[in-house]
Amino acid sequence: MKLFLEKKPWGTLYLVLVFIYLLVIFSAARYIFFILNRSGGGGIPESLYRDAFFMGFRYDTMVSSYLLVLPVLVVFLSIFCNFSARWIRSALTIYFSIVLSLVLLACAADI
């Protein structure tokens, strides 16, 4: 496993983990919103809830992808140019800290 991870470019695993983290945040916020507000939907069938959660997951995937466009371009350009400076990693960490803070704020405001 260690050899497998060493052969991968430095940013791909990081970007995949951030993508999964964003999906988990969005899904958890939707589930909490559903739990807090489910008392109002007495006659709504279960299939409608399932379809709504699936549509929400597709939307979350799209939003997460849009948030990752700039970091993916930076990582691929640095890989293509064979350039892996420490400041690029620091800049991506700062970018994700700001973006994730705004995402958490938006999710908390929605609930």
Q: Which two tokens stand for residue 103?
A: 């995402």
Residue 58, CA distances (Å) to 25, 31, 46, 51 in order: 14, 15, 19, 11
Instruction: Give me the pLDDT at residue 55, please.
Output: 92
pTM for the model:
0.78
Instruction: Give me the pLDDT at residue 62, please.
Output: 93
Rounded distance between C-alpha atoms, residue 52 and residue 20, angstroms: 20
Full pLDDT tens readout for the chain, 111 residues? 555 455 566 678 888 888 999 999 999 988 888 888 777 666 778 788 889 889 989 999 999 999 999 988 888 888 778 777 778 888 888 998 898 889 888 888 876
Q: Which two tokens stand for residue 95?
A: 């970018």
